[in-house]
C-alpha cells in the first residue's frame, strides 16, 4: 500500500525522452509528482488524487489513428491541466481545435514573443518581450479549441503558449522541462503554485516521514533483509527502513574480495558501530575468487558473480531464520515504465532489480522505499538521515566490482594490486578537490606486461589504465580532462608505490563509442 503526499501532481507520459525532467522540475518547485504512462493514467489518477495534471511530449503524432489520447476522466476532472508539446496538441485535438502536420517543424532553440498576460508568466515574462525556449515538434496547432486564447507565439508556432483561464487549462508547444528553456522551471512552478494552488512544502523531511509510515504499514511485524553493496542507494534504503522498523531489519553485506580498498571496513563500522543496525558481514572472497579462477569472458564473470551473490545471500538469510521481505535501493529511473506510444496495449515495463533473481527464488515481497526518487534526491535523503558525506557523495560502483576492471583472469593478487593503485588515484583526486566534479573515476589493471627500467634494473610488469568520466546518468559520458601534471603525479605515485605495475596510461574514450567500465 502506498501513502501518498496529499498535494501531488500527476504527469501523464506519452513517451517523450524528457518526461522524467518534468517530474524533477515539479519536485524542485516543492511539489510531489509521479509519472504514469498514458495507458495507466486513470488508475494513477484514482490512487493519487492529484491536484493538477501535466501532459508530456511524445514522438507520436495526434494525427495518427493510434496516437495516444488523454483519458476522458482527466479531461472531465475539472482539475488544472498543463499540456507540453504533444500534450498541447492532444488537448486541442480532443477538445475541438485543429492540429496539422507542420511543413518544416522547429527543433532546438527558438524565440517566442509574449502576446498577452498569463498566470504562467507571473513575475517572469511581460507582454512584448522575447524569450528563449526549446522546441522539438513537427506537427503544430493551427486552430484553438473554444475558450482558449494565444498568449505567446514563435515564428514556427503561432500558438506557442495558450490559455483557458476558466477551465484552468494551459499548454505550450515548447519544452519547459529542459535546461535550454532557461525560465522553464519557473513556468512549471507558476503552474503548480499559482494555477494548482499548491504551497510547495514538499521536502525530503516530509518524504522521510511519509515513507516511514508506508514501510510500517507494508511490513507490520515482519522481518526484512537488505543486501548492502557499499553504495549510497542500499545504504540510504537500509537507514530509512531501520528508522521505520528498527531491529526487524537485518542487513547482509557480502564481501566477494572484489571491493575497493577500505570499503568493507567502512560499511561494517558505519552500520554496526555508528548506527547499531544488525549486520551480517560475510567474507566470501574464497568462494568468489575460487569460482573466478580461469574465467576471462566478461559475461561469464558477471553471471558467476550474480549467481554466487544470490547463493551466499540466500544461505545467510536462511541462517537468521529467513524473512518475508527483501529491501532494495531501486531508484525511479529503474522503475519508470517505458511507454509504447503506438497506443497498443503493450506497455514495456522496465524493471530492474538490484539483486536480480532473489525475490522470485526466495519468495519474498520487495520493500523499495526509494523507488520514487532520483539519484540526487537519494543523496539529499541520505544527508537528511545523517549518512556521512563519504557515503552520500560516492561515485557509482558496479555490482561485479573489481572483477570487471581486471580484463583477463581475476586473482586475489591482481585484486590486491588494483585496489592499491585505485586507492592512490582516488586519494589524489580527492586531494586535488576534483572528486565531486567527476561522475566516476577508477583504475583498471590490464593483462599486458611491458618492459620498464627502475633504478638500475629492468622491470617486466603490468599496465594500469586510469579512467575518469563526467556524466549525468551513466548513459553517455565524456572523459574528464585532467591536467597533464596531475596525471603524471598519479602515475609516478602508482609506479613507485604499487609493486606489479610499471606503466600507467589514461583512457581517452567517451561513451559512446566506449562504455564506462572496460568489461
Ligand atoms: P557502462 O560500463 O555500461 O556503465 O558504460 C554504465 C554505469 O553502470 C555501471 N555498471 C554496473 N552497475 N552492475 C552494476 O550495478 C553491473 O553489472 C554494471 N556494469 C556497469 C558502471 O559502473 C557505470 O556507472
pLDDT recorded at residue 262: 94
pLDDT tens string 271-289 = 999 999 999 999 999 999 9
Whether residue 343 is predicted with pLDDT greater than 50 in this model: the reply is: no
Mean pLDDT of 36-46: 94
For ligand 1, pick from 517, 518, 519 the residue to mutate: most ligand atoms within 8 Å of CB.
517
DSSP state of 203: -
Specify the pTM.
0.77
CA of 51 relative to ligand 1 center, distance in Å: 38
Whether residue 346 is predicted with pLDDT greater than 60 in this model: the reply is: no
Give the residue whose CA is nearest to atom 21 of ligand 1. 398
- Closest ligand 1 atom to residue 515 Cα is 5
Query: How many other β-carbons are positioned within 10 Å of the β-carbon of residue 371?
Result: 17
Q: How far is the C-alpha of 508 from the C-alpha of 480, rounded, in Å?
A: 9
For ligand 1, pick from 306, 330, 375, 398 the residue to mutate: most ligand atoms within 8 Å of CB.
398
Give the residue whose CA is nearest to atom 4 of ligand 1. 516
**Which residues does the annotation mark as catalytic?**
85, 175, 177
Reduced to 3 states, what is the DSSP secondary structure of residue 2?
coil
Mean pLDDT of 466-489: 92
CA of 260 relative to ligand 1 center, distance in Å: 15
pLDDT recorded at residue 376: 83
CA of 323 relative to ligand 1 center, distance in Å: 29
Assess contact for 260 and 288: CB atoms under 8 A: no
pLDDT recorded at residue 354: 52
Whether residue 111 is predicted with pLDDT greater than 80 in this model: the reply is: yes
- Closest ligand 1 atom to residue 229 Cα is 15
pLDDT tens string 285-337 = 999 999 999 999 999 999 999 899 989 999 998 998 889 999 999 887 776 54
- Closest ligand 1 atom to residue 396 Cα is 24
Task: Cite the DSSP H helix spans in 29-80.
Answer: 41-48, 72-75
CA of 287 relative to ligand 1 center, distance in Å: 23
Strand-pair partners of 10: 34, 53
Grid coordinates representing 368? Answer: 523499495
Give the residue whose CA is nearest to atom 6 of ligand 1. 474
pLDDT tens string 142-166 = 999 999 999 999 988 899 999 999 9
pLDDT recorded at residue 102: 72
Of all helices (H) and strands (E), which one includes residue 195?
Answer: none
- Closest ligand 1 atom to residue 397 Cα is 22
pLDDT tens string 117-139 = 999 999 999 999 999 999 988 88
* Of 78 and 20, the one with more pLDDT: 78
* Of 511 and 294, the one with more pLDDT: 294
Query: How many other β-carbons are positioned within 10 Å of the β-carbon of residue 141?
Result: 28
Mean pLDDT of 401-409: 97
Question: Using 50, 70 and 90 to split pLDDT, how confident is the model at 1?
Answer: very low
Pocket of ligand 1 (CB under 6 A): 302, 396, 398-400, 440, 474, 511, 515-517
Reduced to 3 states, what is the DSSP secondary structure of residue 53?
strand
Question: Under 8 Å CB-to-CB from 367, ≥6 apart: which residues?
Answer: 215, 218, 219, 224, 237, 241, 325, 326, 327, 328
pLDDT recorded at residue 433: 98
Closest CA to 418 of 258, 207, 219: 258
Amino acid at each position: 500500500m502506498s501513502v501518498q503526499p496529499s498535494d501531488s501532481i500527476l504527469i501523464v507520459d506519452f513517451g517523450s525522452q524528457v518526461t522524467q525532467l518534468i517530474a524533477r522540475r515539479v519536485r524542485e518547485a516543492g511539489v510531489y509528482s509521479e509519472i504514469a504512462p498514458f495507458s495507466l493514467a486513470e488508475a494513477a489518477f484514482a490512487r493519487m488524487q492529484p491536484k493538477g495534471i501535466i501532459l508530456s511530449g511524445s514522438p507520436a503524432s495526434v494525427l495518427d489513428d493510434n496516437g495516444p489520447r488523454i483519458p476522458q476522466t482527466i479531461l472531465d476532472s475539472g482539475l488544472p491541466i498543463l499540456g507540453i508539446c504533444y500534450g498541447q496538441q492532444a488537448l486541442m485535438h480532443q477538445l475541438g481545435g485543429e492540429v496539422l502536420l507542420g511543413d518544416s517543424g522547429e527543433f532546438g532553440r527558438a524565440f517566442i514573443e509574449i502576446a498577452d498576460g498569463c498566470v504562467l508568466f507571473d513575475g517572469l515574462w511581460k507582454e512584448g518581450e522575447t524569450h528563449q525556449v526549446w522546441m522539438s515538434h513537427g506537427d503544430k496547432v493551427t486552430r484553438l479549441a473554444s475558450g482558449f486564447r494565444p498568449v505567446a507565439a514563435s515564428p514556427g508556432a503561432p500558438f506557442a503558449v495558450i490559455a483557458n483561464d476558466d477551465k484552468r487549462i494551459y499548454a505550450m508547444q515548447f519544452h519547459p522541462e529542459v535546461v535550454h528553456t532557461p525560465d522553464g522551471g519557473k513556468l512549471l512552478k507558476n503552474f503548480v503554485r499559482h494555477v494548482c494552488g499548491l504551497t510547495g512544502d514538499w521536502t525530503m523531511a516530509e518524504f522521510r516521514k511519509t515513507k516511514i509510515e508506508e514501510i510500517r504499514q507494508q511490513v507490520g511485524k515482519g522481518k526484512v533483509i537488505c543486501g548492502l553493496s557499499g553504495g549510497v542507494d542500499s545504504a540510504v534504503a537500509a537507514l530509512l527502513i531501520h528508522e521505520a522498523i528498527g531491529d526487524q531489519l537485518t542487513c547482509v553485506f557480502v564481501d566477494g574480495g572484489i571491493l575497493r580498498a577500505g570499503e568493507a571496513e567502512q560499511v561494517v563500522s558505519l552500520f554496526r558501530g555508528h548506527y547499531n543496525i544488525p549486520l551480517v558481514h560475510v567474507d566470501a572472497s574464497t568462494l568468489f575468487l575460487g569460482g573466478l579462477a580461469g574465467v576471462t569472458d566478461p559475461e561469464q564473470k558477471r553471471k558467476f558473480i550474480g549467481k554466487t551473490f544470490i547463493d551466499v545471500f540466500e544461505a545467510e538469510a536462511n541462517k537468521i531464520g529467513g524473512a518475508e521481505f527483501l529491501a532494495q535501493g531501486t531508484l525511479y529511473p529503474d522503475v519508470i515504465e517505458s511507454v509504447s506510444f503506438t497506443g497498443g496495449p503493450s506497455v514495456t515495463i522496465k524493471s530492474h532489480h538490484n539483486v536480480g533473481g532473489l525475490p522470485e527464488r526466495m519468495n519474498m515481497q520487495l520493500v523499495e522505499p526509494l523507488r520514487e526518487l532520483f539519484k540526487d534526491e537519494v543523496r539529499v535523503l541520505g544527508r537528511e538521515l545523517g549518512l556521512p558525506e563519504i557515503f552520500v557523495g560516492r561515485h557509482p560502483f558496479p555490482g561485479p566490482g573489481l572483477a570487471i576492471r581486471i580484463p583477463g583472469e581475476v586473482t586475489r593478487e591482481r585484486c590486491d594490486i588494483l585496489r592499491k593503485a585505485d586507492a592512490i588515484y582516488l586519494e589524489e583526486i580527492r586531494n586535488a578537490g576534483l572528486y565531486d566534479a567527476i561522475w566516476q573515476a577508477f583504475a583498471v589493471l590490464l593483462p599486458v606486461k611491458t618492459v620498464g627500467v627502475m633504478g638500475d634494473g629492468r622491470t617486466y610488469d603490468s599496465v594500469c589504465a586510469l579512467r575518469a568520466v563526467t556524466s549525468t546518468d551513466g548513459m553517455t559520458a565524456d572523459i574528464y580532462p585532467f591536467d597533464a601534471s596531475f596525471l603524471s603525479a598519479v602515475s609516478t605515485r602508482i609506479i613507485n608505490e604499487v609493486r606489479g605495475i610499471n606503466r600507467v596510461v589514461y583512457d581517452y574514450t567517451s561513451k559512446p563509442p566506449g562504455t564506462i567500465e572496460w568489461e
